[in-house]
Structure 1
Amino acid sequence: MGVAQRNGLRSCARLTRGHKITIALLTILFVIYHSTPYDSRPRAFVRFQQNNVEDYIQNNYPSDSWLLRPQQYPINPDRDIGVILKTGYGTRHRVNALLQALSNETFFSDTIVVQDFPVIEEIQKNYSLANGKVVPAIDIIGWNLKRGALNGTENLERIRKYKHLAAAVEAEEWMLSDGIGRNMGWELDAMKVGRPLATLQLSSRRSNNLQFLPSLEYAWLNMPKKKWYLVLDDDTYIIKPSLTLLLGHLNPAKPTFLGNPVGDYKGRFPHGGSSVIISGSAVSKLYDGHPDVVAEGHQESPTATWGDKLLSTTFMKIGVYLDETYRRMFNGENPWMTRMWVDRFCLPVVSFHGLGEGDSMEQVGNTFKHMEAPVFWRQLADIYGAYNFSSFHQDPVRANMDFVGRLDEYSTTFTDVNDMPQCIKLCGQHRNACLAWTFDPALRVCHIAPWAIIGDLAEGRFSGVNAPLAEWIANKCHTPS
């Protein structure tokens, strides 16, 4: 026996009983993890804890250093991205506004519109981008039924509701169609893609369950070999330069699934309204490599609760998991209510959501028209002409305004606050967790938050932004080449 072997045996002999038990437990856990299916709960739990650790580090030690590196995988969005735009009967009027908004910033990628009702020729046959590129509309549920992917589910409630709506549309019974669309549009939309849990601001409670898998498959068959596939709701806007910057740092040959994560450890999935991005290699791995898994997903779709989650759990079965590294670039709010978080200041913002009412999509499209550079979270107030952070040195208090906005578990509310100076003092005492404050004298409450919005009118309230903290963080940001 050699000297090295003898020394190794002596080292093992010196291990305490506690050390041996620890090693044995770690070995058992390693074996269990790698011997269970890709979508097993042990694997999901380990990934969830790992993501929590990484999120904690990014939150407390934000970094934009990766932006400074040269892009290893630069893309041409018009050539390399396929866009899947989801709509429903009740929201079909939004599509033209979104296509025009994307055209304003010359976002001319190959695009399809997927919907949960038959195509209305006189209205939808002329979908196009401003450069003349045709955007076809597809009744994705009808397509999936005709090809037999939903065989055996025809008598399930959601399928019957789809057929009811389809019959009314084809008979041009518009009043009946409108009534059906209002009453059960959320369930039919469930057959397309998916909506998130209530942990994010939602514009509706549609589930999109029956559309996501067939929509992605249809895109793969009709827009093949794209490096990336982008899935949008009809009230979601994408900032093209920000998206291009992000994807230029990611390898499309690696199966990748990106978005704004929601859900517990048993099935993390992306918030559909914030947009979902999937690499072409991930799509190929699923549809070309695992048709049995796809078929199983189609059969689950009529009874699934969330289509976003169904897509995620389907990908999990083949070992493709939601990558949460870039979660901070996906935004589920409209621009005027977007919360500029401290840990996002130095990062680009890719998406806005909740632009389905009135002319809000048109306004956003005009605001970001011909945008040539990435947009960073810290720039939103300047872009909208609301304020610059330095202005709060001279004028620290704004009457009838609220710069905190929507409250959640990350904001802090103090009660029995006597006056505005006390609220400002509380913000100062929590300087790393207070980017904005709002004082309500009628209720004697003070709200502070680690974010700021561009400002919302709030009669009787007083509010301000922590300028020193905002400037300190902004000065640490770098500008990518």
Structure 2
Amino acid sequence: MQHPSQHPVVIGDPDLGVKIMEFENEDDFLLQQRRSPTPRQRMRALLRQMRYGPLGRLRNALFFLGTLLIFGWIMLPYDNVVRLGLRFNVKKFQHYLNSHPVEKWLFAPPAYPVDLGTDTVVIVKTGYGTRIRANAWFEALSASNEFRDFLIIADYASKPGQEANNHGTPLLIHNVVNQTLSSLGPAASLSNSRVAKYLRFAEAIENGKQEEADQLAKSTGWEIDALKFISGLELAYSKFPNKKWYLLVDDDTYLVQPSLKPLLAHLDSEVPYYLGNAVGDFRVRFAHGGSGIILSQGAMSSLILDNPHAVRNAHLESLSETWGDRLLARTLIRAGVYLDEEYSHLFSGEPPWWAKIRPDRFCSPIITFHGLGQPEKMHQAGESFRNVSKPLLWSDIWDVYGMSRPWRQSTLTEDELAKPIEYANWDHAGGSGGEVAVVEGVEKAEECGRKCYERGNECMAWTWEKETRRCNLSPWMIVGERVEGKVSGPNGKLARELEMVCLKY
């Protein structure tokens, strides 16, 4: 009879037919147990633990959850509120990490060389109620203007002899509202109030009732404006299908070409870019139309060629949408094209003298100005920027308007620069309330200036009102204008620090 110690010992699971290790007898098995495991055995044991132990089960669960989230993200529509909310917060966090961008590409060799004359088309959006602005827009172009192709879109069509004038060249004004209504067919019925208002307005123009047409344009022009955006872009793409860039501007928007060109040369036009001054909440972040909108060839082809259903829906929504620029953004989102907010700080929604120069854009170029609705204001902007031949930084606006930068005075020591710089009867803060902090009961202008300096990076300029003893502390500074009874000044110390960053690059 065999001694128990002589019985063979098998390590494994006989029921499953798995044999990991076999010993001739128990003595060999006990001897093996007394020996320390080899590195290879340790690794095998660790791998088994990772695969079948608690950590392994956790890993598998996380992998499954991650796969599920990725699949769910891919399947979500582009305009889903979850997708939009997450994207908005990620972009907001990225902006926080890069709150003082420096555009190193500005003076770098162009990655994608661009010719403004052959590679772009400028779409100027006007209307019957603002028709006097169209000629002023072209008159403001400098002698060094590089743009060659233009398309004027409106809510009326120019008659022979009444075209816009581009330095002697007549340009047709295209009625894209009619194009929108034609594309809708029976959907654009008189039962829709916006359609009824437009048809009454168009009839007044057709019958030569200018006074009535002007009155109707004044009361309904904003509603009708929403009907121009999508059809205007469709018309532009049909006439200029091979352009790299499409620039949509209002008739009171000024384009700074020396700043625009390096931006376009930095970006690949085949990528779907949608650029502009970002406004709106997370559900629809859109480029403010008045500040100018830039669309690449990639974005236009995605919208016009690849997503005709989204375009069709946009025409329908234009019958009720308040803002055409928001409608455009919503349509682009459905085509998978989102507003790229990395360049939003390059666009201004104000005229030059009211452009808000913030710390986060001090060294950045400025591409557009808005709010130049009076022809003389547009002419003034054109004259002011006529000799600008290199990229214009936000801080350069001071030089263009003939105001020396006090923080540049080499004779000022750091201590002297830390004292308030005062300009009587002027306003560099740009109003009060909102983001502008208001301190009541400040007795002297110098005291107001010190309060600004004490706030550090949070105050770019201050204005003291003599009559009310109110001190306005602004997170931006503007060139401003003459205002009786106010004393104002920039935060010279902060401005010098920011300018040193500009000079570094």
Q: Is 1:367 equivalent to 2:403 in the alignment?
A: no
State the Cα distance separating 1:249 from its structure 2 match. 0.4
- The aligned amino acid for 1:58 is N
Equivalent residue number for residue 175 of structure 1: 211
State the Cα distance separating 1:103 from its structure 2 match. 4.5
State the Cα distance separating 1:422 from its structure 2 match. 2.4
Contact 1:415 1:445 in 2 (8 A): yes
Q: Is 1:63 equivalent to 2:102 in the alignment?
A: yes
Counterparts of residues 62-461 of structure 1 (less than 5 Å)? 62-124=101-163, 127-130=164-167, 133-146=169-182, 148-155=183-190, 156-189=192-225, 209-390=226-407, 393=412, 396-407=421-432, 409-461=434-486
After superposition, the Cα gap between the structure-2 partners of 1:463 and 1:19, relative to the gap in structure 1 and judged at 3 Å, is: farther
After superposition, the Cα gap between the structure-2 partners of 1:176 and 1:468, relative to the gap in structure 1 and judged at 3 Å, is: same
Deviates more, 1:214-223 or 1:20-29: 20-29
State the Cα distance separating 1:458 from its structure 2 match. 2.3
After superposition, the Cα gap between the structure-2 partners of 1:415 and 1:72, relative to the gap in structure 1 and judged at 3 Å, is: same
The CA deviation string for residues 189-243 of structure 1, in whole angstroms up to 9 with x for no partner, is 2xxxxxxxxxxxxxxxxxxx11110000000001121000000101000001111
- Alignment partners' CA distance in 2, 1:437 and 1:14: 62
Structure 2: segments with no counterpart, 5+ residues: 1-19, 21-39
- Alignment partners' CA distance in 2, 1:21 and 1:443: 66
- Alignment partners' CA distance in 2, 1:157 and 1:437: 47
State the Cα distance separating 1:21 from its structure 2 match. 8.5
Contact 1:89 1:115 in 2 (8 A): yes
- The aligned amino acid for 1:42 is V
After superposition, the Cα gap between the structure-2 partners of 1:300 and 1:368, relative to the gap in structure 1 and judged at 3 Å, is: same
- Alignment partners' CA distance in 2, 1:294 and 1:437: 47
State the Cα distance separating 1:102 from its structure 2 match. 2.3
- Alignment partners' CA distance in 1, 2:483 and 2:107: 40
State the Cα distance separating 1:134 from its structure 2 match. 4.6
Contact 2:421 2:449 in 1 (8 A): no
Contact 1:86 1:232 in 2 (8 A): yes
Contact 1:104 1:365 in 2 (8 A): no
After superposition, the Cα gap between the structure-2 partners of 1:137 and 1:172, relative to the gap in structure 1 and judged at 3 Å, is: same
- The aligned amino acid for 2:244 is K
Counterparts of residues 465-476 of structure 1 (less than 5 Å)? 465-476=490-501
Indicate the SS of the match to 2:464: strand
State the Cα distance separating 1:419 from its structure 2 match. 2.5
- Alignment partners' CA distance in 2, 1:66 and 1:358: 34
Contact 1:108 1:129 in 2 (8 A): no
- Alignment partners' CA distance in 2, 1:104 and 1:305: 38
Indicate the SS of the match to 1:319: coil
State the Cα distance separating 1:23 from its structure 2 match. 7.4
Count of residue correspondences: 456
- Alignment partners' CA distance in 1, 2:208 and 2:54: 83
- Alignment partners' CA distance in 1, 2:240 and 2:436: 44
After superposition, the Cα gap between the structure-2 partners of 1:429 and 1:72, relative to the gap in structure 1 and judged at 3 Å, is: same
The CA deviation string for residues 299-323 of structure 1, in whole angstroms up to 9 with x for no partner, is 1111112111111111111211010
2:89 to 49, 69, 73: 49
After superposition, the Cα gap between the structure-2 partners of 1:357 and 1:36, relative to the gap in structure 1 and judged at 3 Å, is: same
Indicate the SS of the match to 1:476: helix
After superposition, the Cα gap between the structure-2 partners of 1:44 and 1:4, relative to the gap in structure 1 and judged at 3 Å, is: farther
- Alignment partners' CA distance in 2, 1:52 and 1:4: 46
State the Cα distance separating 1:4 from its structure 2 match. 8.2
After superposition, the Cα gap between the structure-2 partners of 1:139 and 1:5, relative to the gap in structure 1 and judged at 3 Å, is: farther
Deviates more, 1:165-174 or 1:326-335: 165-174
Contact 1:106 1:370 in 2 (8 A): no
State the Cα distance separating 1:370 from its structure 2 match. 4.3
Deviates more, 1:10-19 or 1:452-461: 10-19
Indicate the SS of the match to 1:463: strand
Contact 2:158 2:172 in 1 (8 A): no
State the Cα distance separating 1:11 from its structure 2 match. 8.0
After superposition, the Cα gap between the structure-2 partners of 1:79 and 1:358, relative to the gap in structure 1 and judged at 3 Å, is: closer
Contact 1:39 1:317 in 2 (8 A): yes
Q: Normalising to structure 1: TM-score of the pair?
A: 0.88
- Alignment partners' CA distance in 1, 2:431 and 2:62: 46
After superposition, the Cα gap between the structure-2 partners of 1:456 and 1:15, relative to the gap in structure 1 and judged at 3 Å, is: farther
Q: Is 1:37 equivalent to 2:101 in the alignment?
A: no
- The aligned amino acid for 1:183 is S
Contact 1:229 1:280 in 2 (8 A): yes
Q: Say what the alpha-carbon RMSD is for the aligned residues.
A: 2.6
> Higher Cα Rg: structure 1 or 2?
2
State the Cα distance separating 1:33 from its structure 2 match. 2.3
Q: Which runs of 4+ in 1 moved over 6 A?
A: 16-25
Q: Normalising to structure 2: TM-score of the pair?
A: 0.84
State the Cα distance separating 1:163 from its structure 2 match. 1.3
- The aligned amino acid for 1:113 is I
Indicate the SS of the match to 2:406: coil
Contact 2:275 2:339 in 1 (8 A): yes
The CA deviation string for residues 321-378 of structure 1, in whole angstroms up to 9 with x for no partner, is 0100001100000011111111111110000000012500001111111432111101
- Alignment partners' CA distance in 1, 2:444 and 2:53: 68
Indicate the SS of the match to 1:439: strand
- Alignment partners' CA distance in 1, 2:184 and 2:464: 56
Contact 1:118 1:169 in 2 (8 A): no
State the Cα distance separating 1:468 from its structure 2 match. 1.9
- Alignment partners' CA distance in 2, 1:330 and 1:401: 25
- Alignment partners' CA distance in 2, 1:12 and 1:81: 61
- Alignment partners' CA distance in 1, 2:56 and 2:432: 51
Greater relative CO (CA pairs within 8 A, separation 6+)? 1
- The aligned amino acid for 2:129 is G
State the Cα distance separating 1:55 from its structure 2 match. 2.1
